[in-house]
Structure 1
């Protein structure tokens, strides 16, 4: 039973945390809602940091989840620029960096993820960047503009989504770009070789240079500035700036120190939660990038770092904190925009879980839908420059229906017919 005297604390003032606070108020909760973030900016969305804001199509104010005044208007107490340094489950308190302690009745951990660091010589040089926070994007935006004016060289370590989106932004400013990736294609572990090559060719057409099958082993500099990067195959690449885009790690230190159960690293790591987003402590929930949830639709555990997961899991956790019994079973969703290519990806198809990939449409013209199948069942679908099909793809994944692969590949057969 939830009453007006209770205090709900949310650690992590990103999209998941902000949407959880919003859901608590929309559900009529009248107790204290405290939202704590270690950044000084009020909650913002992260996709623009490598897309519209970085490119220059969106202004700074467009990234925020709500106007700054919304939190006071809805009696949400903001503690910004304050990390939570400890969690005492027995006393039900969190301690902030300034030494103050806050007591909670229910706690939501939405601490997100942090960029993985390059563990090589030279990372202390000026000109080595990461992209996770608004301050990172503001700095990188200026760097890309400067590189473009001076015909400068940007080296990107990693050909994942962030690396490719920044590559596209950098080329838009006129910077020279080299992407170094240990796999044989971009996004190899996500899309496989054929579809990874679609993105490689897209970027090559726009002047990006790829160096596959190699890892950075060092960054050389002069007078504290980046001069070049070295790779494990003996190559040296000129560079004025370097972006480390080698993935992100869930921010679990607070939860681990408090003794909460963690998911196995082989399953994606993160805080282990059930399908209701409840941790091993019944009064503590987790949502967003840090949560590794039992997924009732897909089976097994899944940790998803994409925007849609933060958007949707925060409110589900909040409602379950209020005593509801809601399963979090959203179909994972991700989107990207690079040059003239727009893509939406729905579902989950880890390597080894599918036995067939088929394409519907014209892959060469980059106007198609790809499907990952297992035993005739659709596990995931990616629509590239084909629109208004995401709902149908997600319904097809959710249905578990067995489809005829030849018909699925035939654009003349309506997608909706597979749901009949």
Structure 2
């Protein structure tokens, strides 16, 4: 039992004390751990008392304290988070680097917000506060992903008995309106891309041309290496009937020649067989690869890797600038940087300025969409295009093809009366 209070402190609420300090009476609050916090000079005593009373109701309530002591599984989030995080990390093994980075950012936000919450007292209103705090202006798509993140995390809490109910499951997943769904996506035109490729810096032109020829997205393009290209001893001609490569004749057009194979592993669906694709290196691709090596100031030699192993690179004046620990070479590029530079070039050429929202204007990913459309038109076989783009189903390939034709072409037909 603690000692009795001094007479001058008997009318003060629990934890509030006073003492003379530098010629003034100062009031301070002593918490349950014995740490003192002084109130600023000039505060009214009545206001100090009321604030302490309110604080004690919330934080030094014996009934609440007893309830938490009785239930060993109703603890503050920060105490069990290491165990929860470890389990979640084990579940995330094998996922793509970008997915793991996003998960780490979400985890940091989660802990910052919920750290002092008692696990069994987290309700739907707390989840709404969290979403409003960090994702108030997010799109439906992003907000829905964050809800799925919370569902995953709280499912782990529930599984370990730290929560009796996963309130994140009560959070509604919002769907796009029918109007938004029916709106045709804005696609970049072949003419606009020609303009951009003509004005682009070497690194950006290389990226555009590779994406156009391979049908792949920015994550794959920035990670393409010269060593991913495997060349024939001499250019070959592809025979569609036998699906083999034959020796070309002297009069074979250059555009039909194949110099080798480019191996691409798509990060997004890396666990499916569709993610690994072997793309023939056509004459146009060969020119792009050779020009990329020449940008390094080196002569291109098949089978020999230049000083920078990445086909898409940007020579910087200062090598250490923007050098990331994730990089293997100072001239390597981040996907976000490539996308940003593409958008800057698009706007500098005054393309699609009629679209006020910059996010609605075609970005680098639009090159992949245009490539899929053009390759499909040329091949006349959706399955070939699907395999080239490393899609797992035709539905996704068809989605990428949408919006490139303003009018649907139909065969001639006549009705006579």
| Larger-Rg structure | 2
**What TM-score do you get using the length of structure 2 for normalisation?**
0.22
**What TM-score do you get using the length of structure 1 for normalisation?**
0.22
Q: Going by fraction, where is helix more abundant, 1 or 2? A: 2
